[in-house]
Chain A
Amino acid sequence: MSRLKQWWAERVPVDGEQLKALTNEPVPNHLKSWWFCLGGTPAYLFVVQIITGILLAFYYQAAPGAAYESVEYITNQVAFGWYIRSIHKWAATLMIAAVILHQIRVYFTGAYRRPREVNWVIGMGLLLVTLMIGFTGYCLVFEQLSFWGAQVGANIAEATPVIGGPIKHLILGGESYNERTLSRFYVMHAMILPGTLILLLVLHIALIRLHGVTEFQFGNEDPEKPQTFNFFPDHVLSELSLGLVLMVVLSALATLWPADMGLKADPLTTPDVIKPEWFFYVSFRWLKWFPLTGAVLSSGLIVFSMIVWPWIDSFLRRVTKIEEISVYIGIVATCLLIGLTVLEAVVAH
């Protein structure tokens, strides 16, 4: 046995003990609280998406004449196709929801403050990429709303001053939706965006490790007991159990409300109601309230201010002397987010 170990150690020169020491970093106690698993949740769901996505890619065909039919083939013909597809669909929703909840947690606990501003920016990047993945993914199904959602999305992008036209041309592969558009969305959805996500995720986690997890104290800790616990096996086990809980939830959702086939995209028939996926309800409603260019610019401004929030926050704190001003702004913003989402869902459904 030891000879085998020796053989292995010679060829793969990694010291087991060193590795253990490196990874078995003590984890602050607050992470035992389920609150703080909201970062690991989207990461886990991302892994689920990659696995189910690869499985779906075995059958999906990204050409207008075959896309809908291939999705229909998966849903109705392939063994467990409906299940894999439904998991993929629900995990997308849960992942985006988890990312938003995670961001809410980080925001309200002020974990973005100095010196962690860069990590917040990377996190915003992760949010935007995740939303884009969600958007491009639904476009691939080639249902009515897939087509018209893509059309409307590209038109909104076009409203960006100066670069709007080229952006739309890039997205659609032409002046309007054509035979090349679907494969563009496919490459974006299955390769470019996930790749970017992995990259950003690695940076995100690396930065967390390098900075160390922000230590939070609830104020009722016993000063005698250790303030940390072990990553391995304790934290790993809780992450594992969370993952299992998510699998159960996904399975239940996939079984109770499986993904079905809507009407195939028809460029000649505009549906009465065009809506994007739920995670864009906020921006969609916002866009309906202002003229297009103004809405696009203001949306861009809002997103920009979200990205540079750590600096805005420190500026505001300095200027207004209100320490928790971000919390108050955050409450308003979140209520607005929820309100607009629900409003868009209810109106003209």
Chain B
Amino acid sequence: MADEKQDQSQEESIDQPTAEQAPSSDAGRRDFIATGAMAAGLVGGYGMFGYISLRFLFPSTEGETALQFVMTTDRLKVGESAPFTAPDGSTMVIARNGEGETAEDFIALSSVCPHLGCQVHWVAKDEEFFCPCHNGAFNAKGEPTKGPPKYANQALTKFELEVVDGKLFVRVPLKSVREDERGMASRDAGQQRDNSRETRMA
């Protein structure tokens, strides 16, 4: 076996030409095919592994947000607003600005001021969201109109809404990184553990 290897390596080596070379064009083509095949194999193999690693690095975020029921649409009239707290603790204000029964007729805005995190509230008289900490204000669309948020051009975070059959839903995060939400996280883990026990592999 050692001898065979020696012959092969001499044929394929680029740096050490030997007297036993075949006519150059054939050798060149064999070389090319061999090198090409090798490259294809390497790229294919390690490339696939690279792709797998890349996919690996993108965790699935399914189950981290969900549509949650807020109220029936008839409970909110045009110009009215209602507060809402998501399961992870995020607070928001939901207002109706249109007569229709579609998601565009409602708006869900975070009630956390993007400046320094105080809670904003809707002032009907001035038709704005007002932040009492530093007198910041936002219009009905959440865009900043006054105060520090205006200077930094920070709007209130919007949450996605859906209206189905006269029922209003908002897409909110379910899990929080906060300590006091640990109960939910460990409950999920417990559920996953129970599932994995049933599907244990050999």
User: Which A residues contact B (CB, under 8 angstroms)?
Assistant: 24, 29-30, 32-33, 51, 55, 58-59, 65, 69, 72-73, 75-81, 83-84, 218, 225, 229-230, 232-234, 237-238, 240, 244, 247, 257-258, 260-261, 264
Cβ contacts A to B, 19 pairs, < 8 Å? A32-B5, A32-B6, A33-B2, A55-B53, A58-B56, A58-B57, A72-B189, A72-B196, A73-B192, A76-B195, A77-B192, A78-B60, A79-B60, A80-B52, A230-B13, A237-B12, A244-B42, A260-B200, A260-B201
Q: How large is the interface on B (under 10, 10 to 19, 20 to 34, 35 or more residues)?
A: 20 to 34
Considering the chains assembled together, what is the distance between the CA atoms of A247 and B50 in angstroms?
Answer: 13
B49 in complex: contacting residue of A29, A78, A247, CB < 8 Å: A247
B192 and A75: CB pair below 8 A?
no
Closest Cβ of chain B to A292, distance in Å, is 36
Write out the residue numbers on chain B whose beta carbons fall within 8 Å of the beta carbon of A84: 52-53, 56
Return the chain A residue nearest B182 by Cβ. A65
Considering the chains assembled together, what is the distance between the CA atoms of A233 and B16 in angstroms?
Answer: 11
Closest Cβ of chain A to B6, distance in Å, is 7
Closest Cβ of chain A to B116, distance in Å, is 31
User: Which B residues contact A (CB, under 8 angstroms)?
Assistant: 1-2, 5-6, 9, 12-16, 41-42, 45-46, 49, 52-53, 55-60, 186, 189, 192-193, 195-196, 199-202
Considering the chains assembled together, what is the distance between the CA atoms of A81 and B58 in angstroms?
Answer: 11
A69 in complex: contacting residue of B16, B45, B52, B192, CB < 8 Å: B192
Closest Cβ of chain B to A228, distance in Å, is 11
Closest Cβ of chain A to B82, distance in Å, is 36
A225 and B45: CB pair below 8 A?
no
Write out the residue numbers on chain A whose beta carbons fall within 8 Å of the beta carbon of B57: 55, 58
A264 and B55: CB pair below 8 A?
no
Considering the chains assembled together, what is the distance between the CA atoms of A247 and B56 in angstroms?
Answer: 18
Instruction: Report if A83-B52 is in contact (Cβ < 8 Å); known contacts: A69-B192, A234-B13, A260-B200.
Output: yes
Considering the chains assembled together, what is the distance between the CA atoms of A30 and B6 in angstroms?
Answer: 11
Closest Cβ of chain A to B3, distance in Å, is 8
B193 and A264: CB pair below 8 A?
yes
Instruction: Report if A78-B56 is in contact (Cβ < 8 Å); known contacts: A233-B14, A244-B45.
Output: yes
A230 and B9: CB pair below 8 A?
yes
